[in-house]
Structure 1
Amino acid sequence: MTNLYETRDAADNASTSYRLRDTGQDAQGSDNNIFETVQGTITSDGDHDWYEVELVAGQTYTFAAIGTFDGESRLDDPYLRLRDADGNLLVDDDDGGPGTHSTITFTAATSGTFYLDVASYGDQGTGQYGLSAVEGDKAYYDGNMGAGALLRPGLSWSGPGTAATVTYGFRENNNGVEDTFAHVTDEQIAAIEKVLASYSEIANISFDRVNPDGYTDDATMLFSNYNSTTDGAGAYAYYPGSPDAGENEGDVWLNTNSVSTDELPTGSYSHFAVMHEIGHAVGLAHPGDYNAGPGVRITYDEHAQFRQDTQQYSVMSYFDESNADSNLGYGGFPDTLMPLDVLALQQLYGVNMTTRADDTVYGYNSNAGGAYDFSEKMPSAVTIWDAGGNDTIDMSGAGKVNQMISLIDGSFSDVGGGLSNLAIAYNAVIENAIGSGGNDTIIGNAAGNTLVGKAGNDTLLGNGGKDKLIGGNGHDTLRGGSGNDVLKGGAGDDTLDGGSGADKLIAGAGDDTLTGGSGADNFCFFNLGGDDTINDFELGSDLIMIKSRMAEFANLTIFDDGGDTVITFGTNSISLVNVDAALLGESDFAFV
């Protein structure tokens, strides 16, 4: 998501205090570094916002400015300029990006300071924008920018962020648009209504069916079949609010040459086509300026205007996920709306805060159902929107396949053998994750997470919050991050690092290495066995806790060993690195 916010108005000259720094991170699907992304606002006609950026001679860069919502009015037509260190204009752009948005691709002849100058076209207009910079010749968009690419001015059933109710039905009579008109089938109706419900789950848009027992010509959104081998489209739809649509606005036509009339399971092209066209019917555009037609060949290299224009990010994209070095795996098409779709719809109609607001399990042992129950079908790709509760991603049924689970909103996970095929929607909070029998990586978020590695050599990263990390069997690495965390190694030779905060590190069987980090930490030895090491024991602050029927301070053997302290009891030993044995006392221990 966004790294930098224009909290005070950026200067309109080289005195600007804002600078886009190179993050050192590679843009997905490339070796090109991305810079910080910005959310700023043009506050008045004639306002210009300048941002400093350091470029390297011979390197090609792409800069993009796009109108975004994110709680404020949108800058519908940004104008982007690139200037040299003296403020001289080098290149400018009006509509080189999607819609009326701006993109500049530039190869620096010299190294040094340059400035990006964001304004509105003709210096007329105000609103919020996103700004990005990346090495290479294709723009990089953060989440707000990507959502902005899907939203075009005036294409909605309501105002920005305002709820809407739309009637729908299944066309009874041909209105003359297609000569090959046919009724949609019962199977198609079931799939369409399922997709409509999925739209209502994430945003405050509801759909009321006209004539629930049959066909009609009197609804706002009307669904029909047609058949063509020459129009170049699998289906098409009319935008709401489009002056070209007339009385057809919101209507969806499914080409039965491409869309099945009897089988439309999630992950199939037929189901995907329904999701895509309903997106148009409620106001979502393609991420780029392309559209299917007779004889038209559309490719990612030629037509995608930013890197994230793939189906990994949006069902409105024409391009499969391989363009972003991903693999949706099972079935090849997304099962649900994807992260940019969710964010754009929520910005358009408001956020549905009632969906799965209780404790929900996704994956195995799921109570979410549908595409979120992996015991029924491993998904091609899903995005989780969850409004509340204490929630879990459970991959315990995935055998020994390695999982990479990230609980950070807007991020992707690799589950069930796929790559980046599970996403958590922006602003959704999932608290817990359970790994498989493989060697898993599980990444927490700012909430209080419970992360369980189970079998395999796992890596658990708590990040912020008061986390509980449980390694399970295998040689695991647990890092708590900030917050007062509990880390439990389990069997195997484990590495536990509490990070900042007052942490509780519990060694298990095996030879474990424990680092408390900053804060008053408890080092616990409850499952005795092995030769363990504490790297940073702080006398008078940290505490060693031992659980044993025979353990008491008098029964410990404590001695120096080359500048370290070694504590033995029975067949167990604990080494304290760089601790003087003479300074260790009974108050540094607790016996339970």
Structure 2
Amino acid sequence: MCTICQALNPSITTLDFHGLETPGDALAATSGSSSGSLSASLPTYTTDQIASYLTDGYWQDTGRSARAFDVTTGDTLMVDLSGLGSGGQAAVRNALNAWSAASGLNFEETSSNTTAANYPLVHESGDAGANTGGAQKISVNQTFRGKVGSAGDKDWIAVEVEAGKTYSVSLKGTGGTGSLSDTVVQLFDSSGGFVNQNDDRSPDDRSSALSFTAEKDGVYYVAAGGYGSKTGSYDMTVTQGRSNSAPDITFRENDSGAFSTSYTSGGTITSSVVNVSADWSRYGAYYQQTYIHEIGHALGLGHGGNYNGSASFSTAHYANDSYQMSLMSYFNQSANPNVNASKVDVQTPQLADVLAIQNLYGQPTTTRTGDTIYGDDTNTTDFGMGLRGDRAATIVDSGGTDTINFGKRSASQKLDLNTERFSNIDGKVGNLAIARGTVIENAITGSGNDKIIGNSANNILIGNGGNDSLIGNDGNDTLVGGAGSDSLSGGEGTDRAVFDGKSSDYSIHYDASAANGGAVRIQQGNGAIDTLSSIEKLDFGDTSIDMATLLGQLKAKYGAIAAGSSQSHKASLDQSVSTNQGPDARNDAATTKNSKAVVIKVVANDTDPDGDKLSVTGVDGSGLRGSVKVNSDGTVTYDPGTAFDGLSKGQSATETFTYTVDDGHGGRDTAQVSVRIDGTYVAPAPVAPSEPVAPDSTDGGHMEIGSTQISQENGSTWQRVGFSAAIENAAVVMGPISFNGVESAVTRVRNVTSTGFEFQIDEWDYLDGRHLSESVSWMAGSIGSHVMDDGSKVTFGATQANGGNIKSVALDGFSSNPTMFGQLAADNGSNSLVHRFVDSGRDGFGFKVQAEEGHGGDVGGKGTFYYAGVEAASGSTVLRGGTADIDHSASSVATGVGNRAILADMQSFNGQDTAGLRYQVDSSGRLKIHVMEEQSKDGEMIHAKESVGWFAAKEGRYALRSDQNSGNDADSSDTVIDGSRMQIGTLQVTQDNASQWHHVTFDDAIDAATVVMGPASGNGKDALTLRVRDVTSEGFSFQVDEWDYLDGVHATETISWMAGTAGDHQLTDGTRISFGSKAVSSTDGGQVTLAGFSDAPLVFGQVSGDTESRAMTHRIENADNDSFDFFFDLEEAQRGQGSSATSGNFDWAALDSSADSILFRTGTLDTDHDGTRVLSDQSLDDAFFADMLTSNGQDTVNLRYDQSGGNVHIRLYEEQSGDAELVHTNETIGWMTAQNGVYDLV
């Protein structure tokens, strides 16, 4: 059947395929045979083992290297079908469609039929030169006709192109006498630099072709030449698109039999050829299967065993080698006695094929992401998804709520919704499977006696006619037996049995089984009896009945029935059984202080319509930082323990738990208890500097670092953070948020005053704004450049963001690159936004604002952006940090950060998708950070590595000294403010709706306050940004600003904020910090000038103001010691929609990250949407700040963080207004942790 041909070129492998098996007697004379018997000692391979053999084992057994094209899922391979007739083209398109679904690869058709007649001709004038100076010119969609007059002659032709567009170049002889028979085409950039070349268009086509995407507007040069000494006339055609580019896979049907030939370089396939003889079309479905098999070879898969051309069971490696697991096998299902499956042709890659191809190219994220119906009335045109019973298929699906529908079929089906299990369809055995990673939620069968097995999702299983068996397994399932006597088993979860008629049409058999927790029999009016087990609810056309309540009523009426007794009672399900009215549990609230337990009488406000005495049967305290228990007298005690000991006076946190009451007659209800914990912690006096401050040092104010645990009910919820003492002219940066909730979110601040600020977890606009409890740290400081006691520099600032355009901000006084942290304030509009730093350095940074991708265009982002640049000083015992390259995978960046505030921000802009950071701190104190993209446009969350700056610091208030070696930021106050200070806080906030704002009050007044926030923790899955407004010396307001495509409701998130007096300062430990604010009028942002930083500081930015209603975030880039750029970004769906109208402020804080501050911990790292661990000893009471310092990814993105057990993970989180993907390239993130409190700036 398959014969390996020894080619002259050892890089060519030909699998000569004469038939997977003999289709009837059609190939009896030419095909090999499957003979022998399987050894009883052969193992049964798992799907992983078979997949590994297909990608590696086969090539090792045959003495060759494993191979694949150099592409990944989502990329495109070019295919040439011009050598096929219409029937062959249809079969190939079906086969490519099946492989595309399995791999996520795209296949685009190209053609070898480009001729001069198709396009206007430009004739060579004289002899075209062989360099840029002698090049002749054509336009796109023209053909240049010239002549290679001598061996080695090259004709250069110039063509004008546009950046970002893709072009194809086709070079072939003119035909006839004097034609150039073997061509070579080369591509050069505008300066004459070599880019690419192509000799042969395909293995059997000596013309040449290539495609390229222009990197910038201008001229590219294409050179025509002959191979070796070849000469003659030629036509060179340049077209837009890839339709005339060289194919990766060429299909033909002119040779006998079927085979695949691959040309490789090392382990990379450079091109493949697939041939299936045209006369094979008479084999019908087998003809189609052959193409799928051969394309598997062309993509890099071997056979299922060490056979080629013919196969014997004696060559098998494993007992289950057959089409059922892989269509790369030579054994049909019935030929292998170890396989329990019917012999049918295969119309998709099978389980092992899917896993194998994904091991080579990655798992697809865009395969049928909608609510897909498979089988009857399918709503997809993808090949094979009608699920014929006389074919075998494997389903691959990337998302949506999906259904397998066999409702029009009469055969008895066995349908298993679990992955890598086989179902029996239409009287056949083992002919349907669901691939790993695919979730099918619902199933419908027809009139046969069917069995449906659910999975862990919330399944809807409908049996229709026949005596069916429905098994829900995990999840909250809905089981509809339909006509007939059915068996309904709910499994785990809260499961429902649904009946068509009224409750009066049914009766229950109350017997020993029902009375003792076993199966319950429900009889229909026609006499059919359904047997129910693990069913909690009964739904009828007129009512819904709680099973436990019903059985409690029956027990009260008929008494207990001993196990094994034959006693049975038949009761109507309408009003013949007295109805117990269940209790009404009502929510409670309580207040306590740090470390003080509180007793709550939860039943006091609960009622029961029947007057039954209520008792508390349990509490659910999962996710609490404190503890809760039920007391013997029916009260409940909540004890915060030491979890909130670092909560400063004036700050508060909220914890929630649920309790259940029972009326003793089967009636139950649940309510929620909210406990507010008021802080009593007073930050200790700042540590004295190791060297005395010069007598003439000017007071630089204070900086305060804090953190909070926050959950957000909706997108309008704002939470107030108060500074422990006033911070004049405060700037605040926050986050990232921790990663408890999976919704993408950022932080937004508002009402930054000298006494505090407000903030929210800002889920992206496509989300609901409701977000789970997250930890988030914040840092606030007086705007300006400062020095802490240890000599490290911190700069805080506020500026106006410029939306999606880069805004440059100058820094002063940094001797090395600081870590930048940014924070958008609420005045950037109502849309959720995130900032991204671009090119941060010691002299400044750039940033821009990103909205969720689903918006597109301009959605605001021209309000206040707060930032902080942090430069760590040597010997610091308070501030610790660094940088790391981080992508969407959680990356560990530090250990020993328990009980620390965590700040992190991307310092790069490598990934363009909208994303933020999220962080986690595990129980060992290990900090992880990852980039988390929002998913408004698509579901992918892959993000390139970003440089992420971070720091961890003790929460508290720190004095700052003004940096005498720097000027003030151009956007900040021109004079040093006496009594300037900084406050850092951490809070928990729940956003109830999109219009809700939270207010933060500073502990001490902060003149000329600038506020930066976040990132927000990762409790809520909706993407968000943070917005600040109403920044005064007393505080500020903020909101968790979900992106505009979302509903604004966000779960509780933890967010840190930092407010400081505008200007350049030092903290008492010598750390330099500057705060500033810059007004902007478009998403383009601008540049902030810094002073006094020797290296690029950490910059934390913040969109501030609410004149722009759309959600907006900032991006920081190009940060160095004397400046940084920034821009505002809207959600992707809003981009281009009036960006020039965006206005607001960009507030910022810049902190010296080169010094070892005793007040903060800082750092930078690269992360993407998978995230990176930043710290591993982070206190839950410390503030955490982070901001992106780069803008590598163009999609709108924010940072989110997760914190657990001292571990902080941070990631980029894109919004999804433009598409559902969340993948974001790596960004550099600057982060900082610090104790909450008020810090003097000197």
Q: Is TM more than 0.5 here?
A: yes
Change in 2 beyond 3 A, CA 1:315/1:456: same
Relative to structure 1, the CA distance from residue 222 to residue 476 in structure 2 (aligned partners, 3 Å threshold; closer, same or farther) is same
Q: What amino acid does structure 2 have at the position aligned with 1:278?
A: I
Aligned pair 1:414/2:424, yes or no?
yes
Residue in structure 1 matching 2:299, options 282, 285, 295: 282
Shift of residue 390 of structure 1? 0.6
The answer on whether the counterparts of 1:410 and 1:424 sit within 8 Å (CA) in structure 2 is: yes
2:665 is matched with 587
2:54 matched residue in structure 1: 150
Counterpart CA distance in 1 for 2:73 and 2:378 is: 32
Asked whether the 8 Å contact 1:488–1:506 carries over to 2, the reply is no
Shift of 1:207: 2.7
Deviation at 1:222, TM superposition (A): 1.9
Q: Does the 8 Å CA contact 1:393/1:434 hold for their aligned counterparts? A: yes
Alignment partner of 2:250 out of 222, 237, 242: 222
Distance 1:504 1:512, change over 3 A: closer
- Contact kept? 1:158, 1:164, Cα under 8 Å: no
| Greater percentage in helix | 1
| Match of residue 484 from structure 1 | 494
Number of residue pairs matched by the alignment:
395
2:77 to 155, 166, 170: 166
Q: Contact 1:487–1:505 (CA<8 Å) still a contact in 2? A: no
Structure 2 CA distance for aligned equivalents of residues 226 and 448 of structure 1 = 52
Could you tell me which residue of structure 1 aligns to residue 1227 of structure 2? none
The Cα shift of 1:325 comes to 3.9
Aligned in 2, Cα 1:339/1:480: closer, same or farther, shift over 3 Å?
same
User: Match for 2:351 among 336, 339, 342?
Assistant: 339
Secondary structure at 2:290's aligned position in 1?
helix
> Is 2:488–2:533's contact at 8 Å kept on the other side of the alignment?
no
Which amino acid letter does the alignment assign opposite residue 403 of structure 2?
A: T
- 1:560 shift after superposition: 4.8
Judge conservation of contact 2:498–2:539 (CA < 8 Å) in 1: no
Question: Residue in 2 aligned with 1:365?
Answer: 377
For residue 276 of structure 2, give the secondary structure of its aligned residue in structure 1: strand
Amino acid at match of 2:414: M
Structure 2 residue matching 1:252: 3-state secondary structure: strand
2:437 to 411, 427, 447: 427
TM-score (norm 1): 0.57
Instruction: Show the counterpart of 2:28.
Output: none
d(CA) in 2 for partners of 1:148, 1:570: 57
Of 261, 266, 269, which residue of structure 2 is paired with 1:238? 261
Superposition deviation, residue 210 in structure 1: 2.6
Task: Report if the CA contact (8 A) 1:235-1:254 is conserved.
Answer: yes
Give the secondary structure class of the aligned counterpart of 1:275. helix
State the partner residue of 1:273.
Answer: 290
Q: Over aligned residue pairs, what C-alpha RMSD do you find?
A: 4.4
Specify the code of the residue in structure 2 equivalent to 1:357: T
Instruction: Give CA deviations for 1:178-214 in whole Å, capped at 9, x if unaligned.
Output: xxxxx43222122213322322222132333332767
Amino acid at match of 1:392: T
8 Å contact kept, 1:237–1:277? yes
Contact 1:159-1:348 at 8 Å conserved across structures: no
Q: Any residues of structure 2 matched to 1:28-427 within 5 Å, and which? A: 136-152=40-56, 154-158=65-69, 164-170=75-81, 183-211=83-111, 217=205, 218-228=246-256, 234-239=257-262, 241=264, 249-256=271-278, 259-260=280-281, 265=284, 268-292=285-309, 296=310, 298-299=311-312, 301-322=313-334, 323=336, 324-328=338-342, 332-369=344-381, 371-372=383-384, 374=386, 378-399=389-410, 401-427=411-437
1:155 Cα deviation from its structure 2 partner: 3.5
Secondary structure of 2:367 counterpart = coil
From the superposition, tell whether residues 458 and 226 of structure 1 become closer, same or farther in structure 2 (CA, over 3 Å). same
Cα distance in structure 1, aligned partners of 2:395 and 2:265: 31
Same amino acid, percent of matched pairs: 31
User: What is the CA deviation profile of residues 29-53 of structure 1, one whole-angstrom value per residue up to 9, with x for unaligned ones?
Assistant: xxxxxxxxxxxxxxxxxxxxxxxxx
* CA–CA distance in structure 1, aligned partners of residues 530 and 74 of structure 2: 55
Counterparts of 1:526-537 in structure 2, within 5 Å, are none
Aligned: 1:466 with 2:460: no
Partner Cα separation in structure 2 for residue 586 and residue 206 of structure 1:
61
Read off the aligned partner of 2:110 and give its amino acid letter.
Answer: V
Contact 1:163 1:349 in 2 (8 A): no
Q: Looking at secondary structure, tell me which structure has more strand per residue.
A: 2
Residues 20-72 of structure 1: CA distance to partner in whole angstroms, max 9, x if unpaired?
A: xxxxxxxxxxxxxxxxxxxxxxxxxxxxxxxxxxxxxxxxxxxxxxxxxxxxx
Alpha-carbon distance between aligned partners in 1 of 2:574 and 2:90, rounded to the nearest angstrom:
66
Aligned-pair CA distance for 1:315: 1.3
Paired residues of 2:371 and 2:402 also in contact (CA < 8 A): yes
Residues 342 and 428, structure 2, Cα contact 8 Å, conserved in 1: yes
Quick one: structure 1 residues 413 and 219, their matched pair in 2 at CA, closer, same or farther if it must change by over 3 Å?
Answer: same
C-alpha distance in structure 1 between counterparts of 2:308 and 2:508, whole Å: 54
Aligned equivalent of 1:83: none
Q: Identify unmatched segments of 5+ residues in structure 1.
A: 1-134, 172-182, 229-233, 529-533, 547-552, 575-584
Q: Equivalent residue for 1:39?
A: none
Letter in 1 for 2:557: I
Unaligned runs of 5+ in 2: 1-38, 60-64, 115-200, 206-245, 578-662, 669-1242
Query: What's the secondary structure of 1:241's corresponding residue?
Result: strand
1:444 aligns with 2:454: yes
**SS class of match (1:365):** coil
Whichever of the two has the greater Rg, that structure is 2
Asked whether the equivalents of residues 73 and 363 of structure 2 are also in contact (C-alpha less than 8 Å), the reply is no
Q: CA deviation at 1:467?
A: 0.7
In 1, the alpha carbon distance for the partners of 2:521 and 2:324 equals 38
How many angstroms does 1:287 deviate by?
A: 1.2
Q: Which amino acid aligns with 2:459?
A: N
For 1:495 and 1:253, the matched residues in 2 are separated by 66
AA aligned to 1:587 is: H
**Within 2, Cα distance between the matches of 1:275 and 1:347?**
18
- Whether the 8 Å contact between 2:508 and 2:571 is mirrored in structure 1 is no
Quote how far apart the aligned CAs of 1:148 are.
0.7
Distance in 2 between residues matched to 1:435 and 1:465, nearest whole Å: 20
Cα 1:212–1:431 shift into 2, 3 Å: farther
Q: Contact (CA 8 Å) 2:419, 2:435: kept in 1 or not?
A: yes
- Preserved CA contact (<8 Å) 1:507 1:524: no
Q: Distance in 2 between matches of 1:459 and 1:165?
A: 44
Distance 1:319 1:158 in 2: 27
Please state how far the C-alpha of 1:326 moved relative to its aligned partner.
Answer: 4.2
Are the structure 2 counterparts of residues 397 and 369 from structure 1 closer, same or farther at C-alpha, using a change threshold of 3 Å?
Answer: farther
Which residue is 1:13 aligned to? Answer: none
- Note if contact 2:509-2:569 (Cα within 8 Å) is conserved in structure 1: no
SS in 2 for 1:543: helix
Q: Output the CA distance in 2 between the equivalents of 1:186 and 1:512.
A: 53
Encode CA deviations 1:475-522: one digit per residue, 9 max, x unaligned.
111111111111236699999999xx9x999775445554448xxx45
Distance 1:421 1:286 in 2: 20
The residue type paired with residue 87 of structure 2 is E
Aligned counterparts of 1:406 and 1:587: Cα–Cα separation in 2: 38
Q: How far apart, in 1, do the equivalents of 2:573 and 2:275 lie?
A: 77
Task: Look up the SS of the partner of 2:391 in the other structure.
Answer: coil
Q: Which has the higher contact order (CA 8 A, sep 6+)?
A: 2
Amino acid at match of 1:236: F
- 1:532-572 Cα distance to aligned partner (Å, 9 max, x none): xx9xx8xxxx31189xxxxxx8x999345865685756999
Counterpart amino acid of residue 453 in structure 1? G
**Alpha-carbon distance in structure 1 between the residues aligned to 2:40 and 2:476:** 40
